[in-house]
Amino acid sequence: MTSETRNEFPHRFLSCHWPQEFKSRRPFPRQIENEPFIEYCQRQQFPRQKDNQTPIKHLSYPSDENGDDGSVGGSDAGESDSGETDESEGDESEDDSEEDEDDDGVGEEQSQYGDQKKEKGENQSHQTGDNNVEAWNSRSAIRRFMEGFIGDEETLPYPDQVEKVVGFCERGSSTESKKHVALLNDTNDGGNGPEKRPYCRPYKGPLTSQKFRGELEKKRYKTKSDPNNTPPRLDYERDDAERRVVFITDLDPSTIEALAATVPRLQAPATRNMLYKNLTGKPAMGANISTKDLRVFTLECHITYFILKKSERLITDVRKTIEGKPLRQSWKLPFLSGPMSASASDTELLCLYEAQTSLVVTGIDSRVWTAYCIVDTYFGSNESLQHYHEENGPSAQVDPLAAGQIPAIPSITLIWAPREYFSKIVAIRMNEARRAWRQIIDEVEGSVKQVQTNHIIPKSSNDASRQAARNYSDWCTQMVALLRRLRNRLSDTVAAWDEFRGGEIGYFNDGESTAVFSPLKNSMGDVNKAFSDLKEILRKLRDLERELCEDSPQGVHAHLNFGNQDVAIVQQRAARHMQVLTIVTIVFFPFLLASALFSTQGVLPFTPNVEKFIVSLIILAALVIVTFIVLLKWELWFQPFLERFLWRIGCMDLPQQWDLEKGPEKKKIT
């Protein structure tokens, strides 16, 4: 997919402008947009297998859960439309058959060899097509969705995009089928008819993955209607769900499967990128306008941040990656209260949780678009589906994408323009991320100041002081590791905003005067303020890390001195032990040697007795002492004697004595 982005036009800021065609209604292939992308791929790649293709398996629901959801009416509508389509296809087939008959009449004189050659080529193409169909059907629905047409996986923006998403779904862990995963809101502004009346489809409440897929499988756009007569209310299965808002919590394999089986063609590229960036935790912000087939806009914002909260135990994300690790990481931070807090009770723990919010708005004009928002709530967030469901009343619904701050049903304040809606949601979500980062930096900064003020490394060398110094060193190491983790993640988020602000923000600038109030301009101003605060927080994180690593002599580098001191103490103790062992060996060695001699029969030339044993013991002890002294002082005693002996026999000269002024002189023999 090609797009007008800052990467393609690095020196043309004016190229990032919002096209005029997106500001008004325009026609689009409604029937194709009612068809899932993977079915569209199969139909386009294998047209001869259209009648024999294996349809996507629809999930069946218990009868008590589908009593009032309109599934019966939906199936009737689908059958009626399919019947109309079949009739039209039948007419086309009749016309084609007539044309074929005419062609046969004209071409009766074609050679038999040409017919045989054509038949042979068709058989080969049939065989190749059958192999491709078999390979296509052997893939899972998620893999078919992520890869698209055969060969398209080579053109994806990320080389591991397919394997990351498919691996998470096929080899990762899934959640229970009864777990609520999404909220869905479909609205319509009523069209351009004389009796225009905005309306929305019936609210279904929190949906399980099966019900969520069932709702997405219902036809979104009506394909047969009179443009001059738009009734205020139709069968909701046939009403155009022009403005679709999807709110998903804790993205899991079952939810991804529901999206992969139902997402239409124009939304497929944006949805695939959204799934990949959410699962990999990549911060990003940008605007993209596709130029392939029908022009489609995509606005995306992926915010990565951390949540710091107190709890009795650490909550672990149950979603697993291919490696078997939690999808989102979480850590205990007992050291935030000081060096000695690691040994405190675990009744109230400070825990750090990784979180990601992904927002994508994609569509074809100012009225027909879809908004997806994926948030993490595994750590006990108050953004649960049940929370928003309880806030909704019979005549009022809140928008979960906006954290309940704007309405979700047609009203005066409902935002219909996609850019204004996107910028408003980003401003709200960035404000939440800013509060989370502000809480973290306040806690970390307060902990560092408290420890640096109250903790002084003692100068004494007893065990208690060494343990206190070691605790402080360990605290510095853990704090620096935490600061580095926070800094890296926040710097990636800020870098994504700087890249967006350098070019693609032009899509949100219509050139209005600064004196004119614009909701779009106001929301983008709030986003800019939020990122300015994040940059200030990033600066504080860098300063704290540099202070602990470089400026403070009692920081991380202190643990090297403590480690060397411990090694020296251990070496001194080992040396003392060796001295004791050497003394014991010297004392008992003569006795052991004498005992060995007197215990051997026929070696001694005299008769062994006590007096001779004592004399031998004394002699051996003297020999051991002399040997020990000679080994220690052999240079003073033995080396001069050896040199003189070698000089006497002419084997060497006497060693020379050096004088700085006179030079070397030979020793005089006295």
Which residue ranges make up each domain of the chain? Answer: 154-556, 576-666
Of 41-55, 131-145, 322-336, 483-497, highest mean pLDDT: 483-497
DSSP helix/strand/coil, 9: coil
What is the share, in percent, of the chain residues with pLDDT greater than 70? 70
Q: Band of the pLDDT at 665, cuts 50, 70, 90? A: low
pLDDT at 238: 47
pLDDT > 50? residue 382: yes
Q: pTM of the full predicted structure?
A: 0.72
Average pLDDT over residues 28-36: 84
Q: Are residues 346 and 303 in contact, defined by beta-carbon separation less than 8 angstroms? A: no
* Residue 16 pLDDT grade (very low, low, confident, very high; cuts 50, 70, 90): confident
Cα distances (Å, whole numbers) of residue 582 to 196, 431, 588, 622, 628: 105, 73, 10, 17, 11
Helix axes 519-546, 463-501, angle to 10 degrees: 150
Task: Calculate mean pLDDT across residues 372-398.
Answer: 88
Q: Side chain identity at 144, as an amino acid letter? A: R
- Of 23-32, 236-245, 299-308, 378-387, minimum mean pLDDT range: 236-245
What is the Cα–Cα distance from 32 to 12, expressed in whole angstroms? 35
For residues 595-601, give the mean pLDDT. Answer: 76
| Residue 669, CA atoms < 13 Å, CB-side half-sphere | 10
What's the confidence (pLDDT) of residue 226? Answer: 45
pLDDT tens per residue across span 211-238: 999 999 998 888 765 454 444 334 434 4
Confidence band for 397, pLDDT divided at 50, 70 and 90: confident
What is the average per-residue pLDDT within 36-59? 67
Phi, psi dihedral angles at 400 (to 5 degrees): -70, -25
DSSP 553-574: TTSTTHHHHHHHHHHHHHHHHH
Paired residues of 360 in beta bridges = 300, 372
Separation between Cα atoms, residue 620 and residue 108, nearest integer Å: 128
- According to DSSP, the β-strands at 243-249 and 369-375 are parallel
How many whole angstroms separate alpha carbon 214 and alpha carbon 393? 24
387, HSE (Cβ side, Cα atoms, 13 Å):
13
The residue among 145, 129, 133 whose CA lies nearest residue 54 is 133
* pLDDT above 90: residue 475: no
Our measurement of the distance from residue 210's CA atom to the centroid of its chain's CA atoms, rounded to an integer in Å, reads 26
Q: Evaluate if residue 272 carries a pLDDT over 80.
A: yes
Q: What is the pLDDT of residue 79?
A: 38
* Average pLDDT across the chain, whole number: 77
**What distances in angstroms separate CA 453 from CA 447, 457, 477, 646, one per listed residue?**
10, 11, 18, 72
pLDDT in tens, 608-638: 778 878 888 888 888 888 777 777 666 666 6
Its sign, for the CA torsion 511, 514, 519, 524, is positive
